[in-house]
């Protein structure tokens, strides 16, 4: 059977092809629109999170921590001993409360980052220098308080620091350099090898690079560090550790 001199089967085939093309164009447009909507929401979430991160109260507490808590060098044992010896002589209640405010705020921010409210690379692109530095200053506090009180406190901040350090390491702009604060190397240069970059890019984790480790992946390391810290704290008298009770 023919229509206008053309076999009807050919016409039906042509119409089917046209319909398929229209559907594909519509799906592609819908996917593009959805993607733009998701990106817009992520950007809005990033802006709100950065506003909270840069709030006056939090910035004040961060400055206090930077001015008050030194960065101790050496291995974990040396850092903890140095912190306790310094802390019971120089840190008062307000210093510890300011440190607690920073840890709690970073913990809240870390929860949102873990939940995928923002893209990790975007967040750490704005925040990694401060998080690395503050994390280094407060790590002895977090470990000492957790070991002394017998419960895990501030471990998400430790993971947040790992995420910031991973961002620094994978950055083509920064990764070839040491991360230094006041002449102290906090993070030695260790740029990723080509296969590490390749693997990081192909991992199907929420469609983008995962920087923040999940809690389960760091639990053993945290527990090992806490066990070591408990042993170190036994070397000191109760009066030398009393300053930590401000965070009880």
| Residue 6: exposure state from Cβ atoms within 10 A (0-12, 13-18, ≥19) | exposed
* pLDDT by 10s per residue, the chain, length 248: 544 454 555 555 555 656 666 555 655 544 544 444 445 565 577 888 889 888 999 999 999 999 999 999 999 999 999 999 999 999 999 999 999 999 999 999 999 999 888 889 899 999 999 999 999 999 999 999 999 988 889 999 999 999 999 999 988 888 789 999 988 999 998 887 777 777 766 654 444 567 889 889 999 999 999 999 999 999 999 999 999 988 76
111 and 69 fall within a common domain: yes
Give the tokens for residue 110: 């870390």
84 and 30 fall within a common domain: no
pLDDT score at 38: 45
80 and 156 fall within a common domain: yes
Binning the chain into helix, strand and coil, the percentages to the nearest 5 are 75, 5, 25
pLDDT score at 176: 87
CA distances from 35 to 32, 43, 72, 205 (A): 5, 12, 45, 16
If one counts the domains in the chain, the total is: 2
210 and 156 fall within a common domain: yes
40 and 71 fall within a common domain: no
pLDDT score at 37: 45
61 and 49 fall within a common domain: no
pLDDT score at 35: 47
- The pTM score is 0.80
User: Which structural domain range is residue 47 located in?
Assistant: 1-53
1 and 16 fall within a common domain: yes
132 and 48 fall within a common domain: no
């Amino acid at each position: 059977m023919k229509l206008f001199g053309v076999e009807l089967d050919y016409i039906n085939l042509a119409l089917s092809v046209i319909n398929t093309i229209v559907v594909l164009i519509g799906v592609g447009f819908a996917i593009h629109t959805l993607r733009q909507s998701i990106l817009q929401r992520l950007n809005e979430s990033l802006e709100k999170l950065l506003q909270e991160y840069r709030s006056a109260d939090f910035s004040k507490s961060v400055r206090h921590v930077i001015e008050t808590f030194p960065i101790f060098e050496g291995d974990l044992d040396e850092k903890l001993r140095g912190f306790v010896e310094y802390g019971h002589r120089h840190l008062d209640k307000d210093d510890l409360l300011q440190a607690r405010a920073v840890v709690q705020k970073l913990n809240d921010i870390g929860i949102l980052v873990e939940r995928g409210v923002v893209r990790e690379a975007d967040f750490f692109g704005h925040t990694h220098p401060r998080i690395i530095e503050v994390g280094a200053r407060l790590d002895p506090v977090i470990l000492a308080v957790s070991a002394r009180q017998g419960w895990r406190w501030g471990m998400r901040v430790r993971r947040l620091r790992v995420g910031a350090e991973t961002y620094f390491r994978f950055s083509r702009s920064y990764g070839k350099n040491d991360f230094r604060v006041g002449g102290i190397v906090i993070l030695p240069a260790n740029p990723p090898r080509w296969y590490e970059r390749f693997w990081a890019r192909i991992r199907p984790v929420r469609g983008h690079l995962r920087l923040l480790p999940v809690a389960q992946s760091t639990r053993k390391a945290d527990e090992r560090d806490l066990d070591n810290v408990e042993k170190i704290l036994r070397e000191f008298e109760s009066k030398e550790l009393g300053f930590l009770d401000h965070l009880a």
